[in-house]
Amino acid sequence: MTIPRTFIGRGLPYLNIDDLSGRLIVIEGGDAVGRTTQIRLLRDWLEVEGVGTIETGWTRSPLVKDTIDLAKEGHTMNVLTLNLLYATDFADRLEHEIIPALRSGFIVLSDRYIYTAFARAIVRGANPQWIKNIFGFALEPDLVIYLKADPRTLFKRALLSKGLDYWESGRDQNPGLDPYDSFLRYQTQLLREFDRMARDYNFSVINARRSVNAVQKNLRETLVKAIPGLSSASINSKTA
Protein backbone atom coordinates (compact mmCIF):
# COMPACT_ATOMS: atom_id res chain seq x y z
CA MET A 1 0.00 0.00 0.00
CA THR A 2 1.39 3.38 -1.00
CA ILE A 3 1.62 5.83 1.90
CA PRO A 4 1.10 9.57 1.33
CA ARG A 5 4.44 11.33 1.84
CA THR A 6 5.44 14.89 2.64
CA PHE A 7 8.71 16.71 3.09
CA ILE A 8 9.67 18.49 6.31
CA GLY A 9 10.04 21.72 4.33
CA ARG A 10 10.33 22.58 0.65
CA GLY A 11 11.78 19.20 -0.28
CA LEU A 12 13.72 18.18 -3.36
CA PRO A 13 11.55 18.95 -6.43
CA TYR A 14 13.22 16.36 -8.66
CA LEU A 15 12.42 13.45 -6.29
CA ASN A 16 9.16 11.58 -6.81
CA ILE A 17 7.77 10.48 -3.45
CA ASP A 18 4.31 9.39 -4.63
CA ASP A 19 4.97 5.65 -4.74
CA LEU A 20 6.75 4.89 -1.48
CA SER A 21 5.14 1.92 0.26
CA GLY A 22 7.79 1.27 2.91
CA ARG A 23 8.06 2.71 6.41
CA LEU A 24 10.63 5.15 7.77
CA ILE A 25 11.32 4.49 11.45
CA VAL A 26 13.67 6.87 13.26
CA ILE A 27 15.49 6.10 16.52
CA GLU A 28 16.74 9.23 18.30
CA GLY A 29 18.35 9.96 21.65
CA GLY A 30 21.46 11.24 23.38
CA ASP A 31 24.95 10.03 22.61
CA ALA A 32 25.73 6.48 23.88
CA VAL A 33 22.07 5.81 24.68
CA GLY A 34 22.17 2.48 22.81
CA ARG A 35 20.56 3.29 19.46
CA THR A 36 22.93 1.18 17.35
CA THR A 37 22.52 -1.93 19.50
CA GLN A 38 18.74 -1.60 19.56
CA ILE A 39 18.51 -1.05 15.79
CA ARG A 40 20.63 -4.15 15.12
CA LEU A 41 18.28 -6.20 17.31
CA LEU A 42 15.21 -4.68 15.67
CA ARG A 43 16.55 -5.51 12.21
CA ASP A 44 17.25 -9.13 13.21
CA TRP A 45 13.72 -9.45 14.59
CA LEU A 46 12.06 -7.87 11.54
CA GLU A 47 14.00 -10.06 9.13
CA VAL A 48 12.98 -13.19 11.04
CA GLU A 49 9.42 -11.91 10.67
CA GLY A 50 9.99 -11.80 6.89
CA VAL A 51 10.09 -8.01 6.61
CA GLY A 52 12.63 -6.42 4.27
CA THR A 53 14.70 -3.99 6.35
CA ILE A 54 17.68 -1.70 5.89
CA GLU A 55 19.63 0.49 8.30
CA THR A 56 20.94 3.98 7.69
CA GLY A 57 22.69 6.37 10.02
CA TRP A 58 24.43 9.65 10.58
CA THR A 59 27.61 10.33 8.54
CA ARG A 60 27.49 7.05 6.61
CA SER A 61 27.29 8.51 3.10
CA PRO A 62 30.17 7.25 0.93
CA LEU A 63 30.16 10.68 -0.72
CA VAL A 64 31.24 12.71 2.33
CA LYS A 65 31.81 10.32 5.26
CA ASP A 66 35.60 10.50 5.03
CA THR A 67 35.47 14.28 4.60
CA ILE A 68 33.39 14.68 7.75
CA ASP A 69 35.68 12.41 9.75
CA LEU A 70 38.72 14.35 8.56
CA ALA A 71 37.14 17.74 9.26
CA LYS A 72 36.12 16.71 12.79
CA GLU A 73 39.66 15.65 13.61
CA GLY A 74 40.76 19.29 13.51
CA HIS A 75 38.32 20.30 16.30
CA THR A 76 37.85 23.69 14.60
CA MET A 77 34.64 23.48 12.57
CA ASN A 78 32.01 26.15 13.10
CA VAL A 79 28.29 25.41 13.22
CA LEU A 80 27.74 26.45 9.58
CA THR A 81 30.39 24.13 8.14
CA LEU A 82 29.40 21.26 10.42
CA ASN A 83 25.75 21.35 9.42
CA LEU A 84 26.35 21.84 5.71
CA LEU A 85 28.49 18.70 5.77
CA TYR A 86 25.82 16.82 7.73
CA ALA A 87 23.14 18.03 5.28
CA THR A 88 25.21 16.78 2.33
CA ASP A 89 25.61 13.40 4.01
CA PHE A 90 21.90 13.18 4.69
CA ALA A 91 20.83 14.31 1.20
CA ASP A 92 23.02 11.64 -0.40
CA ARG A 93 21.61 8.90 1.83
CA LEU A 94 18.04 10.12 1.32
CA GLU A 95 18.31 9.99 -2.47
CA HIS A 96 20.35 6.81 -2.84
CA GLU A 97 19.37 4.70 0.20
CA ILE A 98 16.22 5.81 1.98
CA ILE A 99 13.86 6.63 -0.89
CA PRO A 100 14.81 3.60 -3.04
CA ALA A 101 14.28 1.31 -0.03
CA LEU A 102 10.89 2.87 0.75
CA ARG A 103 9.91 2.53 -2.92
CA SER A 104 10.71 -1.19 -2.65
CA GLY A 105 8.48 -1.57 0.39
CA PHE A 106 11.27 -1.94 2.94
CA ILE A 107 11.28 -0.72 6.51
CA VAL A 108 14.10 1.81 6.93
CA LEU A 109 15.58 1.98 10.43
CA SER A 110 17.38 5.30 10.80
CA ASP A 111 20.02 5.65 13.51
CA ARG A 112 19.46 9.39 14.13
CA TYR A 113 17.67 11.73 11.75
CA ILE A 114 17.37 15.47 11.24
CA TYR A 115 16.33 15.95 14.86
CA THR A 116 19.90 15.26 15.96
CA ALA A 117 21.04 18.04 13.62
CA PHE A 118 18.41 20.37 15.06
CA ALA A 119 19.45 19.70 18.66
CA ARG A 120 23.20 19.95 18.05
CA ALA A 121 22.93 23.10 15.98
CA ILE A 122 20.61 24.92 18.40
CA VAL A 123 22.83 24.05 21.37
CA ARG A 124 25.72 25.56 19.40
CA GLY A 125 23.83 28.80 18.88
CA ALA A 126 22.27 28.31 15.45
CA ASN A 127 18.96 29.93 14.59
CA PRO A 128 16.25 27.20 14.86
CA GLN A 129 14.50 28.26 11.65
CA TRP A 130 17.81 28.33 9.76
CA ILE A 131 18.68 24.75 10.68
CA LYS A 132 15.14 23.59 9.90
CA ASN A 133 15.36 25.21 6.46
CA ILE A 134 18.73 23.55 5.80
CA PHE A 135 17.16 20.12 6.30
CA GLY A 136 13.83 20.99 4.69
CA PHE A 137 14.38 18.35 2.01
CA ALA A 138 13.94 15.53 4.55
CA LEU A 139 10.95 13.19 4.42
CA GLU A 140 8.54 13.18 7.32
CA PRO A 141 9.17 9.86 9.11
CA ASP A 142 6.36 7.44 9.90
CA LEU A 143 7.51 7.08 13.50
CA VAL A 144 10.16 8.71 15.68
CA ILE A 145 11.18 6.82 18.82
CA TYR A 146 13.14 8.77 21.42
CA LEU A 147 15.32 6.61 23.66
CA LYS A 148 15.57 8.73 26.78
CA ALA A 149 18.25 8.47 29.47
CA ASP A 150 19.82 10.97 31.85
CA PRO A 151 23.31 12.44 31.20
CA ARG A 152 25.04 10.41 33.92
CA THR A 153 23.71 7.17 32.47
CA LEU A 154 24.94 8.27 29.04
CA PHE A 155 28.37 9.09 30.49
CA LYS A 156 28.75 5.62 32.01
CA ARG A 157 27.74 3.97 28.75
CA ALA A 158 30.11 6.15 26.73
CA LEU A 159 33.02 5.10 28.92
CA LEU A 160 32.10 1.44 28.53
CA SER A 161 31.89 1.67 24.75
CA LYS A 162 34.21 3.91 22.73
CA GLY A 163 35.09 6.54 25.32
CA LEU A 164 34.41 10.27 25.27
CA ASP A 165 34.26 11.75 21.79
CA TYR A 166 35.38 15.40 21.49
CA TRP A 167 32.22 16.60 19.74
CA GLU A 168 29.76 14.38 21.61
CA SER A 169 31.23 15.69 24.86
CA GLY A 170 30.68 19.29 23.75
CA ARG A 171 34.34 20.11 24.22
CA ASP A 172 34.11 22.73 21.49
CA GLN A 173 31.47 24.51 23.61
CA ASN A 174 33.15 24.10 26.99
CA PRO A 175 36.91 24.53 26.49
CA GLY A 176 37.53 25.34 30.14
CA LEU A 177 35.81 22.27 31.58
CA ASP A 178 37.19 18.80 32.14
CA PRO A 179 35.73 16.08 29.85
CA TYR A 180 33.28 14.78 32.46
CA ASP A 181 31.73 18.16 33.27
CA SER A 182 31.70 19.13 29.60
CA PHE A 183 29.89 15.93 28.68
CA LEU A 184 27.25 16.40 31.38
CA ARG A 185 26.63 20.05 30.48
CA TYR A 186 26.43 19.39 26.74
CA GLN A 187 24.23 16.31 27.00
CA THR A 188 21.92 18.12 29.42
CA GLN A 189 21.46 20.86 26.82
CA LEU A 190 20.91 18.32 24.04
CA LEU A 191 18.36 16.37 26.04
CA ARG A 192 16.48 19.57 26.77
CA GLU A 193 16.12 20.05 23.01
CA PHE A 194 15.10 16.43 22.47
CA ASP A 195 12.46 16.76 25.20
CA ARG A 196 11.08 19.86 23.49
CA MET A 197 11.02 18.15 20.08
CA ALA A 198 9.36 15.07 21.61
CA ARG A 199 6.44 17.33 22.49
CA ASP A 200 6.47 19.35 19.25
CA TYR A 201 6.83 16.39 16.87
CA ASN A 202 4.99 13.74 18.89
CA PHE A 203 7.87 11.32 19.43
CA SER A 204 7.23 7.99 21.10
CA VAL A 205 9.36 8.10 24.25
CA ILE A 206 10.98 4.98 25.72
CA ASN A 207 12.87 4.81 29.00
CA ALA A 208 16.36 3.74 27.88
CA ARG A 209 17.86 3.43 31.36
CA ARG A 210 16.62 -0.17 31.56
CA SER A 211 18.25 -3.35 30.29
CA VAL A 212 18.84 -3.97 26.59
CA ASN A 213 16.13 -6.65 26.58
CA ALA A 214 13.54 -4.44 28.28
CA VAL A 215 14.13 -1.57 25.87
CA GLN A 216 14.04 -3.92 22.87
CA LYS A 217 10.72 -5.41 23.98
CA ASN A 218 9.27 -1.90 24.28
CA LEU A 219 10.58 -1.00 20.81
CA ARG A 220 8.96 -4.07 19.29
CA GLU A 221 5.66 -3.29 20.99
CA THR A 222 5.80 0.24 19.58
CA LEU A 223 6.46 -1.00 16.03
CA VAL A 224 3.68 -3.59 16.19
CA LYS A 225 1.21 -0.83 17.08
CA ALA A 226 2.49 1.46 14.32
CA ILE A 227 2.99 -0.93 11.40
CA PRO A 228 0.08 -3.03 10.09
CA GLY A 229 0.93 -6.66 9.49
CA LEU A 230 3.55 -7.09 12.19
CA SER A 231 2.73 -9.89 14.59
CA SER A 232 2.85 -9.42 18.34
CA ALA A 233 3.47 -13.14 18.86
CA SER A 234 7.29 -12.80 18.68
CA ILE A 235 7.67 -9.67 20.81
CA ASN A 236 8.93 -11.71 23.75
CA SER A 237 11.32 -13.85 21.72
CA LYS A 238 15.02 -13.75 22.62
CA THR A 239 16.47 -10.31 22.03
CA ALA A 240 20.11 -10.38 23.12
Of 1-15, 141-155, 197-211, which range is least confident? 1-15
Angle at 22 between CA 16 and CA 24, to 5 degrees: 90
Is residue 240 predicted with pLDDT exceeding 70?
no
- Strand order of the β-sheet with 204-207 is 53-57, 107-111, 23-29, 143-148, 204-207
pLDDT at 238 (0 to 100): 64
For the segment 112-122, the average pLDDT, to the nearest whole number, is 97
23-226 has which CATH code? Answer: 3.40.50.300
Quote the DSSP letter at residue 237: S
For residue 8, what are the contacts with CB-CB under 8 A and spacing of at least 6? 114, 132, 135, 136, 137, 138, 139, 140
- 219-238 burial, b for 16+ CB within 10 Å, e for fewer? bbebbbeeeeebeeeebeee
- Residue 233: predicted pLDDT: 73
| 62-95: pLDDT as tens digits | 999 999 888 888 777 888 998 999 999 999 999 9
CA gap 47, 37 in Å, rounded: 16
Is residue 14 over pLDDT 60?
A: yes
How far the first Cα of the chain sits from its last, in Å, is 32
Q: What's this model's pTM, rounded to 2 decimal places?
A: 0.94
Domain positions in the chain are: 23-226
What single letter denotes the amino acid at residue 83? N
Q: Which residues pair with 143 in a beta bridge?
A: 25
Question: Using CA atoms, how far apart are residues 199 and 95, in angstroms rounded to an integer?
Answer: 29
